[in-house]
Chain A
């Protein structure tokens, strides 16, 4: 790990160098009234004034629907074509928030805790993350309450902290980060000794994670789930924008003799998610599904995978059509 300084024009030159290296570059772009990661070619396309992108980098790292493998039926036989990791394009994510980058750890925990997930790993290998520490936050942000911070470097290959002069402190964190620096090493100057913390937004913790965890361990039969979930509509917006939600579905796309098996995101909030063919549904009610969402992130994952399933990005609260504010709900559980 090495800390450097990069000035304003240096940032642009370096950015251009990354683009010309042939890698896909995704960055937040403001269009259609929303800020979201999109492929960009020029630094000027990158959005400035915003707190959070609508979707997490999950939407840029993974395809919305991904072919696990494809097949063709020939004379009663089936030929399989495996997923090719090399088909994944080299991707650089620019201006990622630390809470987004922190999502890789829980995602990897889910995908690799037992058998390794070839596809997930292929995407990870091909993705480099240049995060920007956060100088601003809003009422939905709570990374500091879930082991994160506005300057958290977990999951990032490089982290930039923007300085008033338009330059930035560049923390080069990984080998992948070094490779990116190597595309234009001369713009990286020696560290000027600026304290990063000075430029981070001050975000007090809103609840104590251990306390919440202890409460949740005993809360399975609590009435809180029903009370909190009453207005929940049962859509999947929270899960789809979440940087750590990994529930998925496997589906078939067949055309005549050819077909492919497809993986796409799913959501534990959907009523049909756990429905058995027999008609029995273990999580029949919305309150049970809401409980599953919270317990999975804040109790099951910490216990089973040693990682909390929430990075405090606040997207689910912002995306929810009926203001199911996760911070408010967790805080209220902590206070119980």
Chain B
């Protein structure tokens, strides 16, 4: 009986490095072992534990779509020991990955619905995975609206993709920056995300809203959606509690009887109502 060591990471090669914004990078990772690559599967919404050897592990979502095979991508900001260790790697370097962990966005259930994506700042990556997933299976969904905002123009990530999305006729793309964050060339909206959502959101009828962003943005976006007629089971978000193991053991992300790493990170607002709000 050879048991798998959950904590042993896959070895990944950094295939491509994209500098997204100050301190924010996207890495495209390829499995070094072909068999592992072959066996690997994940779904939109899942996350992983990424390791910089010498520094440790850090948790973030898989930012690429499961429809794009052969690699995964992650986007992270250089904020601590591990992320700074990751940031110092370059193309061709080896890093570790454990995953996929956590639950998924119920994309199957959303078939035939309108999708409204609302994201703020560095929280676009988990959304990006779903967006590409939906766009790659475009025929499954009706109208797709994306509202994305950041503090300043500089802080917007995935700039080329933002352009790609806004150029598509089958996507309604709205980008915004906080007042004062604009520059001379800025052609998007100016204002906080909740305000813009209020302005541009489609009807709640047959629409699913997916919200990712800092707690403060979520806090102000939920009431706007409610006002627009969204029911709790029409609103989804992902939580980013502190995690270490990623597999429901280490105890950090335990909120109520749930483990965010196992029962989440994706929650509908309906599910969120069941756990104490002060602890996530």
B279 CB contacts on chain A under 8 angstroms: 282-283, 288, 292
B250 CB contacts on chain A under 8 angstroms: 247-250, 266
CB within 8 Å of A: which of B247-268?
247-257, 262
Q: SS class of chain A's interface: helix, strand, loop or mixed?
A: mixed
Asked if A119 contacts B5 (CB within 8 A), the reply is yes
Interface 9-mer from B22-30, B34-42, B53-61, B127-135: B53-61
CA–CA, A251 and B57, complex, Å = 8
**A118-B3, A118-B4, A292-B254 as given contacts; A76 in contact with B93, CB under 8 Å:** yes
Tell me the smallest distance from the CB of B78 to a CB of chain A, in Å. Answer: 11
Taking the complex as formed, is A268 at the interface, i.e. its CB lies under 8 A from any CB of chain B?
A: yes
B257 CB contacts on chain A under 8 angstroms: 299-300, 303-304
Asked if B242 contacts A251 (CB within 8 A), the reply is no
Asked if A80 contacts B8 (CB within 8 A), the reply is yes
B4 CB contacts on chain A under 8 angstroms: 115-116, 118
Taking the complex as formed, is A199 at the interface, i.e. its CB lies under 8 A from any CB of chain B?
A: no
A259 CB contacts on chain B under 8 angstroms: 53-54
Taking the complex as formed, is B113 at the interface, i.e. its CB lies under 8 A from any CB of chain A?
A: no
Taking the complex as formed, is A175 at the interface, i.e. its CB lies under 8 A from any CB of chain B?
A: no
Taking the complex as formed, is B108 at the interface, i.e. its CB lies under 8 A from any CB of chain A?
A: no
CB within 8 Å of B: which of A15-73?
68-69, 71, 73
Q: Which of A78, A254, A292 has the most CB of B within 10 A?
A: A78
Q: SS class of chain B's interface: helix, strand, loop or mixed?
A: loop
CA–CA, A300 and B275, complex, Å = 12
Tell me the smallest distance from the CB of B265 to a CB of chain A, in Å. Answer: 13
Asked if A77 contacts B94 (CB within 8 A), the reply is yes
CB within 8 Å of B: which of A303-325?
303-304
CB within 8 Å of B: which of A56-105?
68-69, 71, 73, 76-78, 80, 82-83, 85
CA–CA, A220 and B257, complex, Å = 12
Q: Could you tell me how many residues of chain A have their Cβ less than 8 Å away from some Cβ of chain B? A: 51
Taking the complex as formed, is A114 at the interface, i.e. its CB lies under 8 A from any CB of chain B?
A: yes
Asked if B94 contacts A300 (CB within 8 A), the reply is no
Asked if A300 contacts B5 (CB within 8 A), the reply is no
Q: Could you tell me how many residues of chain B have their Cβ less than 8 Å away from some Cβ of chain A? A: 43
Taking the complex as formed, is B228 at the interface, i.e. its CB lies under 8 A from any CB of chain A?
A: no
Tell me the smallest distance from the CB of A59 to a CB of chain B, in Å. Answer: 18
Interface digits, B42-81 against A, CB 8 Å rule (1 contact, 0 not)? 0000000001011111000000000000000000000110
Asked if B7 contacts A80 (CB within 8 A), the reply is no
CA–CA, A236 and B211, complex, Å = 37
Tell me the smallest distance from the CB of A250 to a CB of chain B, in Å. Answer: 5
Query: Which residue of A has the minimal Cβ distance to B214?
Result: A278
Asked if A68 contacts B280 (CB within 8 A), the reply is no
Taking the complex as formed, is B11 at the interface, i.e. its CB lies under 8 A from any CB of chain A?
A: yes
Taking the complex as formed, is A235 at the interface, i.e. its CB lies under 8 A from any CB of chain B?
A: no
Taking the complex as formed, is B185 at the interface, i.e. its CB lies under 8 A from any CB of chain A?
A: no
Taking the complex as formed, is A121 at the interface, i.e. its CB lies under 8 A from any CB of chain B?
A: yes
Tell me the smallest distance from the CB of B279 to a CB of chain A, in Å. Answer: 4
Tell me the smallest distance from the CB of A222 to a CB of chain B, in Å. Answer: 12
8 A-B contacts (beta carbon < 8 Å)? A71-B53, A118-B4, A249-B244, A252-B53, A273-B252, A274-B242, A282-B280, A303-B257
